[in-house]
Each structure stands twice: as structure tokens, then as C-alpha cells.
Amino acid sequence: MALTAYCKKCGREVEPGEICPRCGTRLGKNAAHAAWCVERTPVKDWMYWNSVMRVLLPAALVILVLVLAAEAVSGGVAAVERMMTSVFPLTLLILLAAALLAVFAALLLQGKELSDFVVDSRGIHETRYLPDPTPLKLLARLRSPAAAKQAEGGDARVLMLSRRDLAWKDVARVQLWPEKCMILFYAPAWWLRIPAICTPFSWDDTIGFAREKLGKKKKVKLPPSMKADAPAARRSAFREPAVEQIRMDDMEPAWGDSFADPAPAEGENPPADFAEEEPKA
């Protein structure tokens, strides 16, 4: 389970509750949190491409509009038509393709990284780490190769890249992407701040935190299933097939399991699936 609590006296993560099961110290009301880690490959991660395209495409559009506006002012509609039939649009497309190729090469050279996510009573926190920070990986991230030597110990195997914190009070919109097991947090409503990549076991805990902190806020745009006044039946039905499929694929129901059919009452025949085969003649 991803949901744990931190005991200040023990200095360890323990099961959430009012009292620490190890030392008996009373845990604070806000001690519970969900924490997990995922491995990411930037060149295959849509969120990295999304962060680049949000800047690159508007920049190309602005250049096109400015050039056409300048032609319209200087030569009128005829000048605009000549510009659109010239090599300018093709040149702009070539430059855009070259920029995308450069981004692809940079993301490919970055290698893999780790993202630690923590969701607690204060908000959502993401910390990115780079395992084995080679000079090439650092240069692909526009960082100095000396950054690895400046890390703690001087011979770091893992280098912290960045940390992002988003308080619940700043969240303006939440979107769910169950196919990718991802929860998108926006602040403001038009800007993606943290895409929380969940594991199958941290999905429900993160949804629970978000519903508790944001479900009653009318100014926050939420999916219907995350609102505080959503019917209980609707909340329980929110478990998306994509998430449930990940959890249940490798599990076979056993007699008496929590997700299997209940055992029959005494004197009743079991279902056909569990009935013993009759001996063949």
C-alpha cells in the first residue's frame, strides 16, 4: 500500500493510524501521506513532449502571424498572398521539423530518471532524480557536468534534478487519465503544474486525498466522481477498467478471497466452477 504515516520518534514510515504501532507515540492528524516512485524515460514520456510543444508550437504560430501582419501592413492582401505562395511556409515547417528533431535527440540522450511523488495534507510534491549522472546526460539537460561532483559525497550515484510543490489551495483544475494511471493537477486552470504518474496501488489513495481537500471547493474544476457531493455508488464505480485491469491481470480468484464469490452456506452446492469433476466411467 502506498498510504503510510511518518513517526517523528521512530523516524520511520509506519501504518497510518492515531498511534504508532512501533513505539506507541501519538501520530499527528496530518501524518498520513501517500508516497511512491516511478521510473521515466523522457523520450517516451508524453508529458516531456507536451512541455516542449506548449512552447514550440505557439512560438511558431506567433512568428507566422507577425510576418503576415507585417506584409499586410506594408503591401496589403496581395503581399500576404505572395508570402503564402512563396517558400516562407515551407521554410517555417522545415525549421519546426528541425527543432523537433533536436528535441528528440536531447530527450533520447537524457536516459532514464526517477520521479518520487508524495501526496499529503499540504499538497502534491514531486522530486526528480537522475541515476548515474554522466556528463552526456547532464549536457542533454543543459546542466554542467560539474553538477554531479557538487552533489553530496562528491561521487553521487543519484543526482536530484528538481523539486516541485503544489499546495491544495493553489490547485484550480484536476483531470484524470486512467488509461495512463495519471492525475493531472493544474494551477491556474489552463497550466499543467504536476502530472502525478500513479501506480495501481497509489491511485485510490491519491484520489482520496484530492477529494478530501478539493471536493467541496466550487471554484476548482473537478471530475464529477471527485466532488464531495457525488453519490457513494458513483464513487465506488469510479474504478476505471484500465486501472483495475493492471491490478487483476495476474491474479487468479481463490476460494474465500476478498474479490472472489463468497463461500456457499452449509448445505448448499458450490458453483459449477468450483465443483469437483465427476469421475469418468
- Digit-by-digit pLDDT tens for the chain (281 residues) are 456 655 554 655 555 655 665 566 656 566 677 888 999 999 999 889 988 888 889 999 999 899 889 988 888 888 888 888 889 889 999 999 999 999 999 999 999 999 999 998 889 999 999 998 888 898 899 888 776 665 544 456 788 889 999 999 999 999 999 998 999 999 999 999 999 999 888 898 889 889 988 988 889 999 988 887 765 544 443 344 333 333 334 444 444 444 444 555 555 555 554 444 455 54
Are the beta carbons of 179 and 193 closer than 8 angstroms?
Answer: no
- Express each pLDDT in 232-251 by its tens digit: 544 443 344 333 333 334 44
Host H or E run for residue 246 = helix 241-248
Which residue pairs from 40-48 have beta carbons closer than 8 angstroms and sit at least 24 positions apart in sequence? 40/112, 40/113, 40/114, 40/115, 40/197, 41/111, 41/112, 42/107, 42/110, 42/111, 42/113, 43/104, 43/107, 43/108, 43/110, 46/180, 47/195, 48/107
Are the beta carbons of 179 and 228 closer than 8 angstroms?
Answer: no
Name the grid cell of 82.
505572395
Note the pTM of the prediction, 2 decimals: 0.68
68, exposed or middle or buried, with CB in 10 Å at 0-12, 13-18, 19+?
middle
Parallel/antiparallel/unpaired status of strands 192-197 and 123-131: unpaired
Could you give the CA distance from residue 136 to residue 148 in angstroms, rounded to a whole number? 11
Q: What is the pLDDT of residue 237?
A: 37
Angle between helices 88-109 and 46-84 (to 10 degrees): 170
What type of residue sits at position 249? D
Q: What is the pLDDT of residue 133?
A: 87
Could you give the CA distance from residue 148 to residue 117 in angstroms, rounded to a whole number? 23
Could you give the CA distance from residue 135 to residue 143 in angstroms, rounded to a whole number? 9
Are the beta carbons of 205 and 212 closer than 8 angstroms?
Answer: no
Are the beta carbons of 109 and 142 closer than 8 angstroms?
Answer: no
Q: What is the pLDDT of residue 142?
A: 87
Could you give the CA distance from residue 202 to residue 180 in angstroms, rounded to a whole number? 13
The answer for residues whose C-beta is within 8 angstroms of residue 16's C-beta and 6 or more apart is 3, 4, 5, 27, 31, 32
Positive or negative CA dihedral for 219, 224, 230, 235?
Answer: negative
